[in-house]
Structure 1
Amino acid sequence: MPPLLRDSRGHLRNGWWIALFIVVFLASRVIYHPLSKALQSHGFDGAWLAPLPALFVLLVTWACLRLRRQSLADVGLKLDVRWLRHALFGIAFGCATMLAVSASIAAAGGVRFHLDPTHALAALAIGAWTFAGVALFEELLFRGFVFQRLVDGAGPLVAQGVMAVLFALAHWDNPGMEGATQVWATLDTALGAILLGLAFLRSGSLALPIGIHFGWNWMQGSVLGFDVSGIGQASWLSPELLDKPQWLSGGTFGPEASVFAVLVDVASIVLLWRWKGVPPKGVAANPARQGVANASQ
């Protein structure tokens, strides 16, 4: 076959696999949009539909993997004890980092918190359901099949750079993305993408980035009550923003537009970079995952 189609190993080049994923993903929108509207017309609100986007991306990922004669385990979804352990560690890490951000904002006089008894446990449960769907959707889309094809074809540095830009741009339509907020939020989102990409590269599994993503959002929105990337929801606590600059408190966009989020992300990236990681056994033997093994050495 021409070199444009096949690599030196005789495999279809990663760029074509990425193009195929995009085509199948766009084609799935033809089914997704009418299905979503139909479910909404039958009384299913936004919270109930939270897992639907993730389900469609999962199906697209599965279809592309089947064409490669692989399973979901090959994209980092091997649901075993190790996967669960990484997911739980990721959740704890995500919660801890968001607590560090919010504690820094509070210590600088940017916010104080009040208990919101009208929501309490219901807000935590609904938030967990919603943010689990968000974390699974975004990690499959930005750290799943496409990211891993980029790692395999162009290397971890290129893959991280491309996905950091795309992840940041994907949030530009969020409420409040303007002025200084856009600058700080874009920087934080790009750093967040690098952090989550590194979590995959170091662990060889999507469990860790999904857990970190979920813990960060759930703690930020459902527990502490901040807007998450400009979007509000019911919460356990109710934050009162004080008279401080937006770059310090994050303003109505949420802590992700705060300088403290940027600093915590940088510190988290350094911690993960220093951690050598433990990829699954046999990862280096699989050509599609060779880049993961290389990045973890």
Structure 2
Amino acid sequence: MRFVWQFLAVMVTYAIGGGTVTAVKENDWLTCVLGLVVAALAVLVYAWVVRRTEHRQALDVAREGAAARTGRGVLIGAGMFGAVIVNLFSSGHYEVDGLGSVEGALGLLGFMAAAAATEEVVYRGVLFRIIEEHIGTYVALALTGLVFGLSHLLNEHATLWGAIAIAIEAGFMLAAAYAATRSLWLTIGVHFGWNFAAAGVFSTEVSGNGSNLGLLDATASGPELLTGGSFGPEGSVYSVGFGALLTLVFLWLAHRRGNIVAFGVRRAARADSTVTLPR
């Protein structure tokens, strides 16, 4: 029942928050403000429902060290997408025509903050964490990663390959990051850093949701295998490669810190209190 209540609570926040931010997306300043509010609300609702259903504090969103962990995550996510763009630019498949829109970037900052926070509390905070307790880290990572990827088939320019790519480079990688650190702040940061770099800085399409005008006025062209085509760079083999590499790194860290849950060995609901937090 704790799974049911937690899932319902965060999904209601996800639906209402997402609908609210989408409704004002034509106003960049309002989108920025409301997006940040929705992001904060998603974390607060998650902390509240965990406390009510598990009778403990949600240490994966503890206030202590939150800014540092989120910041490290943003650097990882933005750095990962930056590496994709460097490869596309060096091969002549990404061109910058000039400056874009600062206001557009601000709107995307709020929009991506809301998306990152709400999706992370749903997919990693509730789904991965609780499923992991029952079937182990690896199976939970595979299942929730696939669900995360396939959910992107609902997007406007979605492709099956794009959904599979998202599952590998984001679904698997973010679950591995959570397993390694037991911190939603870090995964929210990685998720936001990737999305904002893609849309708010480099002005590329994000997960088949349409083109965005961020800080740079730029275009990507060339083979779909490299650029991702209409789905955006998340469908690029570069993204899949970097995401798979980071997944292995995070799983190695999870092993090193003793954070891997074996299949058939159920972790107690309050075991988060003994997990090694990121340094």
TM bracket (short chain): 0.7 to 0.9
Give the RMSD, CA atoms, in angstroms: 3.1
Q: Which residue of 1 aligns with 2:62?
A: 78
Contact 2:14 2:42 in 1 (8 A): no
Q: Distance in 1 between matches of 2:231 and 2:194?
A: 15
Measured against aligned partners, the alpha-carbon deviations of 1:226-251 in whole angstroms (never above 9, x if no partner) come to: 01112333301122233x22121112
1:208-219 paired onto structure 2 within 5 Å: 208-219=186-197
Report what 2:85 is aligned to. 102
User: How many aligned positions are there?
Assistant: 260
Could you tell me how far apart the structure 2 residues matched to 1:91 and 1:166 are?
23
1:29-54 residue CA offsets vs partner (Å, 9 max, x unmatched)? 89x38x949x86xx896554435654
**Contact residue 204 and residue 278 of structure 1 kept, 8 A:** no
Distance 1:153 1:224 in 2: 40
Corresponding residue number in structure 2 for 1:173? 154
Determine if the alignment matches structure 1 residue 139 to structure 2 residue 116: no
Amino acid at match of 2:215: W
1:158 paired with 2:136, answer no
Is structure 2 residue 167 aligned with structure 1 residue 186?
A: no
- Superposed, 1:46-85 pairs within 5 Å as 46-51=31-36, 54=39, 57-58=42-43, 60-61=45-46, 62-73=48-59, 76-81=60-65, 83-85=66-68
Q: Deviations over 1:241-288 (max 9, x none)?
A: 33x2212111232100111111111121122233356699xxxxx932
Gaps (5+ residues) in structure 2?
A: 260-266
1:245 aligns with 2:228: no
Distance in 2 (alpha carbons) for counterparts of 1:92 and 1:25: 26
Say which one has the larger Rg.
1
* Structure 2 partner of 1:274: 252
Q: Distance in 1 between matches of 2:257 and 2:105?
A: 32
Q: 1:93 to 1:26 in 2, by over 3 A?
A: closer
- The AA in structure 2 aligned to 1:19 is V
TM-score calculated relative to the size of structure 1: 0.76
Unaligned runs of 5+ in 1: 1-15, 281-285
Q: Is contact 1:57–1:141 with CA below 8 Å preserved after alignment?
A: no
Question: Which amino acid in structure 1 is aligned with residue 137 of structure 2?
Answer: P
| Structure 1 counterpart of 2:73 | 90
CA distance in 1, matches of 2:257, 2:150: 31
Whole-Å Cα distance in 1 between the matches of residues 184 and 235 of structure 2?
26
Structure 1 residues 258 and 123: CA distance shift in structure 2, 3 A: same
**Distance (Å, rounded) in 2 between the aligned partners of 1:56 and 1:72:** 15
Of 265, 273, 276, which aligns to 2:243? 265
TM-score, normalising length: structure 2? 0.80
Whether the aligned pair in 2 keeps the contact of 1:17 and 1:149 (CA below 8 Å) is no
Read off the aligned partner of 1:109 and give its amino acid letter. G
Structure 1 residue 289: Cα displacement: 5.2
Shift of residue 160, structure 1, vs aligned partner? 0.8
The residue number in structure 2 matching 1:18 is: 3
- SS of the residue corresponding to residue 175 of structure 1 reads coil
Contact 1:148–1:289, Cα closer than 8 Å, also in 2: no
Deviates more, 1:57-66 or 1:133-142: 57-66
When you count helix as a share of all residues, which structure comes out higher?
2
| Contact 2:5–2:49, Cα closer than 8 Å, also in 1 | no
